[in-house]
């Protein structure tokens, strides 16, 4: 590995690895699986570094790799109940009496994977509709509509836990 | 316009993706519609919790960058496919040539005088196939078998 390439890789890793790791964690992957997936994303990114033509779009490129890696990996469990339990335990551990946080995380965990991924890309990663549309090979209008529906479902789940 | 349409616009506004023409009538509607107002308030509340969700630190095993750390280790250092094919073909051709060459050349020659009548019998073993040999035998007078000298 040349020094310049190593430096660039190192900078990218420090910027993006925590975000990608946390993205996987919030999609209910275990710490172990999220670690492996994150490492795989950067291994693939390194192998395919020649594909990068525009460095301002590296984020979108990494997210697309992350999406593929997660899709290719067989998850041990996808049951909503288990996700909710995990989210509930984690939220309860951190909330120390903050009911809203607990409910939001449980409501989020109750959503299906597509909704959760979409909300994370928007709320945590700050991707624009255009960037999400590129990732999902859809249109900006479809992203807009999907995000709206995800928010409707999230609110419904949130309300269920409020009452 | 139905509340659902306004809520779609609220969603887009929260994302900073509301178009200017879509703002028309939105704020007036929110002033008058308790449901849409509540919908927006809940979304803001949920979103605030999202943004307060702390990031977990990277586990120690992936804390430092290393491009070939994972299952891609082999992938990262693998031989390019054309080179691997060329090497494979070379090995097959070389093996075939070696076997052919071995099978076609005489492997053993006996060149001993076998009788006392002045003849030398020459026996040559040539591989007939992978498991057997053909025996070629010839008898020549011993004198013919002597090296000839030039000018003698």
SS3 call for B124:
strand
Give bridge partners of residue A117 from the DSSP assignment.
Answer: none
ipTM above 0.90, yes or no: no
In chain A, which residues have their Cβ closer than 8 Å to the Cβ of B67? Answer: 1, 9, 42-43, 45-47
For chain B, 152 residues long, the average pLDDT of each consecutive 10-residue run is: 93 94 91 95 93 90 75 45 78 84 62 58 64 66 56 41
DSSP state of B148: P
pLDDT on residue B135: 67
Query: Minimum mean pLDDT among A28-42, A44-58, A140-154, B48-62: which range?
Result: A44-58
**H-type alpha helices, chain B:** 3-14, 26-32, 34-52, 72-77, 81-104
Choose the closest CB to B42 out of A13, A42, A158.
A158
What percentage of chain A exceeds 70 in pLDDT? 83
* Maximum average pLDDT range among A23-32, A95-104, B2-11, B87-96: B2-11
- The model carries a pTM of 0.65
3-class SS string, chain A: CCHHHHHHHHHHHHHHHHHHHHHHHHCCCCHHHHHHHHHHHHHHHHHCHHHCCCHHHHHHHHHHHHHHHHHHCCCCCCCHHHHHHHHHHHHHHHHCCCHHHHHHHHHHHCCCHHHHHHHHHHHHCCCCHHHHHHHHCCCHHHHHHHHHHHHHHHHHHHHHHHC
Q: Does B8 contact A145 at a Cβ distance shorter than 8 Å?
A: yes
Query: Please, which residues 24-63 of chain B have a Cβ atom closer than 8 Å to chain A?
Result: 39, 42-43, 45-47, 49-59, 61-62
Question: CA A159 to CA B103: how far, in whole Å?
Answer: 85
Q: At what angle do helices B34-52 and B3-14 cross, to 10 degrees?
A: 30
Residue A98 clears pLDDT 50, i.e. is over it:
yes
Question: CA B92 to CA B101: how far, in whole Å?
Answer: 14
């Amino acid at each position: 590995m040349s020094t310049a390439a190593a430096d660039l890789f190192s900078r990218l890793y420090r910027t993006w690895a925590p975000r990608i790791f946390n993205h996987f964690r919030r999609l209910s992957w275990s710490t172990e699986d999220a670690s492996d997936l994150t490492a795989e994303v950067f291994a693939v990114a390194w192998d395919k570094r020649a594909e990068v033509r525009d460095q301002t779009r590296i984020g979108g490129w990494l997210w697309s790799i992350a999406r593929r890696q997660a899709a290719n990996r067989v998850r041990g469990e996808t049951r909503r109940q288990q996700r909710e339990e995990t989210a509930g335990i984690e939220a309860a551990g951190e909330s120390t009496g903050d009911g809203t946080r607990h409910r939001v995380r449980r409501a989020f965990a109750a959503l299906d994977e597509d909704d959760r991924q979409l909300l994370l890309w928007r709320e945590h990663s700050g991707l624009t509709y255009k960037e999400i549309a590129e990732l999902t090979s859809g249109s900006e209008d479809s992203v807009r509509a999907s995000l709206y529906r995800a928010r409707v479902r999230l609110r419904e789940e949130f309300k269920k836990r409020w009452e | 316009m139905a509340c659902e349409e306004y809520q779609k616009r609220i969603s887009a506004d929260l994302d900073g993706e509301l178009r200017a023409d879509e703002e028309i009538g939105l704020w007036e509607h929110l002033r008058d519609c308790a449901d849409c107002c509540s919908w927006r308030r809940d979304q803001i509340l949920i979103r605030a919790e999202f943004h307060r969700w702390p990031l977990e630190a990277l586990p120690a095993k992936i804390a430092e960058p290393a491009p070939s750390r994972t299952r891609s280790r082999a992938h990262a250092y693998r031989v390019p496919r054309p080179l691997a094919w060329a090497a494979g073909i070379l090995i097959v051709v070389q093996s075939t040539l070696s076997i052919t060459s071995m099978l076609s050349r005489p492997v053993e020659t006996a060149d001993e005088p076998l009788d006392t009548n002045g003849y030398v019998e020459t026996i040559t073993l040539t591989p007939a196939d992978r498991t057997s040999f053909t025996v070629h035998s010839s008898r020549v007078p011993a004198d013919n078998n002597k090296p000839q000298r030039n000018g003698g």
